Structure 1
Amino acid sequence: MLSSTMQSLELREQDLTEMGSLIQSRVVLEVSSQVQSLLDSLDSATLDIGVTGESGAGKSTLVNALRGLSDSDPRAAPTGVVETTAKPMSYPHPSLPSVQLWDLPGTGTLSFQAKQYLEEVVLERYDFFLLVASERFRESHAQLARAVTAAGKRFYFIRSKVDQDLRASRRRRTVGFEEDQVLAEIRADCVRQLEKEGVAAPRVFLISSFQLHCFDFPRLQVTLVEELDGHKRHVLFLALPAVTATAVRQRKEALQRHIWKKALLACLVSALPGLPLQLSVPMLLETLASYRRSFGLDEESLGGLAQVAASPLQRLQAQVYSALGRELSPVVVQDVLNKAALCGQAAAWLACTHLPVLENLVAGGISFVAAYALLHNALEGFAGDAQRVLEAAYGTGDGRALGSPCYPPDLGFLYG
C-alpha cells in the first residue's frame, strides 16, 4: 500500500511539473503574441502624403527625392519639363510600403478650380499636403491653400528649386550678393502672400529636391514629425531621408525606444519548449536588416544615394565600418550575438532582479540581455556608418562619430 501511495505521489508530482510547463508555455505564448501585436501595429501604420501644386513646379522630382530615388531610377515618378501627371498616382516608399506619396495632377491652368480639384483627388485620403510652388506665388496657390484649410487638412508650403533662384540672383547681383538675405526675401514673400489670403501662421519651407541636405528640408522634417501623432509619427520618421547628422541621430533614438520589444520577442521565442534556438536568429536578422535599410546602408539604398549625390558607390561603401553594416548573415549575427552575450553579462543581474519573469530566459536560449545588447550596439554602429556615408556623399555632419564599441547597454527602462 505504501508503494502504491508513493507511486501515486510521483505521478502527481510529474503531472504538476507537466502542468507547470504547460502554463509557462501558454504564458510565454500569450506575452509573445502581445509583443508581436505591438510591433505589428507600429510597422503597419499607414501614411498618405499628397504632393500638389502648379504644373512644372517639381512635384514629381520632390516625390522621388522623398523616397530616396533619383529621377532616373526605374521606380521613380515620371518627370519632365511639361506636366506628366494626369491623375493621382501613388508611389510607395521603397522600404516602408505603408507610406504612400501621391503625385497629384498639376494646378495653375485657366480651367483650374480648387474645390473641384480637391474633390477629384479625394481629399479625405491624405494625412496632409505638400503644396509645391516655384519661381513666384500664383493665384492657384492661394485658391488651393484656402480650399485645403477650409477642409480641415494641414498643408505645408514648399518653395522648390531655390538652388536655381540663388544662381539667378547671383548672376543679377554681381555685387553684394548674400545667400541668406535672398532666402529670407523669398521666404518672407511666400508668408506675406499666404497671410494676405487668410492663411494664419503659414508654414513655408525653401527646398531643392537635388540638395535635400541644404536649405529648409531638415526643418520640414522636424515640423512634420512634431505635428503627427503616434505610429504615423514613427513611420514618417523612418520614411523621410536622413540627410543630416542630426536626422541620423534622431532616427537612431526613435528605433532605440523599441529595442526592448524586439529583444523580448526573440528571447521568448528561444525559450518556448520544443522550439529550436535557431528560430530566434532569423527574427533578429530580419530586424537588423530593417535597421540597416532605415539608415540607407543596404546595397540598394547606397546605390540610390550614389546616383542622387553623384558620388562613386565604392567611396560610400568604404565608409561602412561596422561588421553588421558590411554583412548580414546568420553566421555573422550568431557571432555578434555571442559577443553581445558576453558584453551584457554585467547587466544580466539587473534584468533578473527588476523583471523576475526574465530569470529563466536569461539563463537559457537567447537571453533578453544578449538580444538587447546586439540590437543596441548594431544601431550605434549603423548610425556611425550612416553619418560617415553622408559626409562622403554631401560633406555634411558635425565631425563626431556616432558609433561606439560594445558595452553593456543602458537598461534604465527596466526601472520604469
Structure 2
Amino acid sequence: MGQHSSTPKEEDYRNLDFNFTEYFRKYKPEIKIISEETIHSIDLCIRKGDLNGARSIISDVLKIIDNAPINIAVTGESGGGKSSFINALIGIGPEDKGAAEVGVIETTMKRTPYKHPKIKTLTFWDLPGVGTQKFPPKAYLEEVKFEEYNFFIIVSATRFTKLELDLAQAIGIMKKNYYLVRTKVDVDLENEKRFKPHIFEREKTLSQIRSYSVNTFSDSKMAVPQIFLISNYDLSDYDFPVLMDTLIKDLPVLKRHNFMLSLPDITEAAIDRKNKAIQQFAYLEAFKTMFLATHPEAGIPRDNDVEKLKKSLNHYRQLFGIDDESLEFMAKDFQVPVGHLKEYIKSPNLLNTKRQEVLLEELLKSLEKFKSAYGWLTAIKLYIWKTFYLRQHFVNIVTEDAKVLLQWTNSKK
C-alpha cells in the first residue's frame, strides 16, 4: 500500500466516519450528560472539518462536568431522619468518619456540609429544621443561603407540618425545585404488622401513608407534589430509586454525570445508569484526544499508557464499590474471607492474566504497524479508539462484577 503523508492536516479529518448525534441516540434524554444542542454543535463542527471548534466545545464540556459543584439541601424536623438520609446518600455508616450525626437536637441556624467521599464536587447540606427557628420561611431560606443549592429535600418521619408546607411553598416561589421525602416507612409497616397481624396488607398500608401525606397538602389548599416514601436502611425498596431517577432528570445536564457516579449501587438499574455515565464521558475524552493528535507525536503510545489503563480500571472499581478497600469492608460486614468475595468477580485479576498482558502489548504496538501501512492519521485513530474500547471493556466487566456482588448480598439478607 502507498505511504501517506507523515503529518496529518486538519482537513484530513473531514471524511472520517464520526457521527456524534448517532452515538448519543442510544441514551435516554434524562441520562445524557451533555445537551442535545451541544451534541449537535460538536457534530456540526466535525462535519465541517472545524477541529478547533469541536475540540474547544468538548474541552469546555469536560471541564464543566468535572468541576461543576452540586449542592443539595436537606431539611426537615429534628428526628425525621435527615442525618440517616444523608449518610445513606454518601454511602457511609453513622459511626464512620465524616458521617452526619444521627439523633442530634438542633438549636442553632448553623448549616453543616457533608462532602461525598468519592465525588468531591458533591456536597449535601444538613439544614436545621424550620420548626426549630423563629423565622418565617422566606427569612429562613435567606439565612441558610437558599441560592447556593441545586434543590431542596424536605424530610419527615410523620406528617408534614404547616411550617414545612410553608417552606415548600416559599422554595417554589423562589424558583427552586424541592422534593418531599417521607422516611421510616419500614418502621410504620413493622408497627402496623405487629398491631394488626391478621388484616395487615403491605401495599394498603403504604397507600394509607401516602394518602396521609397528600391530604396534608389538600387540607392546606396547596397543590400536591410528588411524595417519596423511603427507608434509610433499605434503599432498594419503596420509592428511593424513583427519587434518584427524578433528581437526575431535574438536575442541570452537565451536573448529571458526577451525581450518577455518586449514587449507591442498590439495584441493577442504578449500576447500569452509572455505567452509562462513564461510557459517555469516556467517549468525549476519546474524541478530545483524537482532535489533539494533529501531530504524530500526540498519538504515540508512551511507557506509562499501560499504567494509565490500570489506573482507569482501579478508578472504575472504586466508583462501583468493588475496589480492594470496599471488598474488605463487605467481607467484614458479612463475616467471610475477602478471598471468598473475589471468587465471584473478574475485575481484580483483569490485568494480571497473560491474555490481558498480551492484549495490552498489542495495543501499544498497533500504532507502528498501522503507521507503516496506512499513515499517521489512520494509526492515531485506531490507537485512540482501541484504547477507548478497552476502557469500555473494563467498565463493563466492573459493572457485571457489581451486579454479581449485589445479588450475593441480597441473597444473604
TM-score under structure 1 length normalisation: 0.75
* Rg larger for: 1
For residue 72 of structure 1, report the CA deviation from its aligned partner: 0.9
Residues 307-330 of structure 1, C-alpha deviations (whole Å, 9 max, x = no match): 8xx53464697157554x3158xx
Residues 347-387 of structure 1, C-alpha deviations (whole Å, 9 max, x = no match): xxxx99xxx98502156xxx123212211111111111111
What secondary structure, in the 3-state scheme, does the structure 2 residue paired with 1:272 have?
helix
> Where does residue 146 of structure 2 map in the other structure?
123
What secondary structure, in the 3-state scheme, does the structure 1 residue paired with 2:232 have?
coil
For residue 242 of structure 1, report the CA deviation from its aligned partner: 2.2
What secondary structure, in the 3-state scheme, does the structure 2 residue paired with 1:241 have?
coil
> Where does residue 348 of structure 2 map in the other structure?
326
> Where does residue 322 of structure 2 map in the other structure?
297
Tell me, yes or no, if the aligned pair for 2:110 and 2:127 is still in contact at 8 Å: yes
What secondary structure, in the 3-state scheme, does the structure 1 residue paired with 2:204 have?
helix
For residue 125 of structure 1, report the CA deviation from its aligned partner: 0.6
Matches within 5 A, 1:371-390: 371-390=387-406
1:75 aligned onto 2:98: yes
Distance 2:57 2:212 in 1: 52
Aligned residues: 363
Match of 2:254 among 212, 226, 231: 231
Residues 193-212 of structure 1, C-alpha deviations (whole Å, 9 max, x = no match): 12443543402111111111
What secondary structure, in the 3-state scheme, does the structure 2 residue paired with 1:100 have?
strand
1:360 aligned onto 2:379: yes
Distance 2:352 2:222 in 1: 55
> Where does residue 393 of structure 1 map in the other structure?
409
Q: Which moved further from structure 2: 110-119 or 264-273?
A: 264-273
Q: Structure 1 residues 157, 200: closer, same or farther in 2, change over 3 A?
A: same
Write the letter of the residue equivalent to 1:147. A
Aligned-residue Cα RMSD (Å) equals 3.9
Tell me, yes or no, if the aligned pair for 1:207 and 1:217 is still in contact at 8 Å: yes
1:143 aligned onto 2:162: no
> Where does residue 336 of structure 1 map in the other structure?
356
Tell me, yes or no, if the aligned pair for 2:183 and 2:232 is still in contact at 8 Å: yes
Distance 1:214 1:172 in 2: 22
Q: Structure 1 residues 283, 216: closer, same or farther in 2, change over 3 A?
A: same
Distance 1:282 1:199 in 2: 58
Residues 55-75 of structure 1, C-alpha deviations (whole Å, 9 max, x = no match): 111111111110011111112
Matches within 5 A, 1:11-410: 21=7, 36-80=59-103, 82-83=105-106, 87-109=110-132, 111=134, 113-264=136-287, 272=297, 277-302=302-327, 310-312=333-335, 314=337, 318=341, 321-323=344-346, 325-326=347-348, 332=352, 336=356, 338-339=358-359, 358-362=377-381, 367-395=383-411
Distance 1:336 1:39 in 2: 29
Distance 1:180 1:229 in 2: 34
Q: Structure 1 residues 39, 333: closer, same or farther in 2, change over 3 A?
A: farther
For residue 339 of structure 1, report the CA deviation from its aligned partner: 2.2
What secondary structure, in the 3-state scheme, does the structure 2 residue paired with 1:76 have?
coil
Distance 2:73 2:173 in 1: 16
Distance 1:80 1:169 in 2: 24
Residues 8-52 of structure 1, C-alpha deviations (whole Å, 9 max, x = no match): xxxxxxxxx8xx75978xx9x978787554433222222100000
Greater RCO structure (CA 8 Å; 6+ sep): 2
For residue 162 of structure 1, report the CA deviation from its aligned partner: 1.0
Distance 2:135 2:339 in 1: 45
Q: Which runs of 5+ in 1 are unaligned?
A: 1-16, 346-350, 397-416
TM-score under structure 2 length normalisation: 0.75
Distance 1:148 1:122 in 2: 12
Write the letter of the residue equivalent to 2:396. E
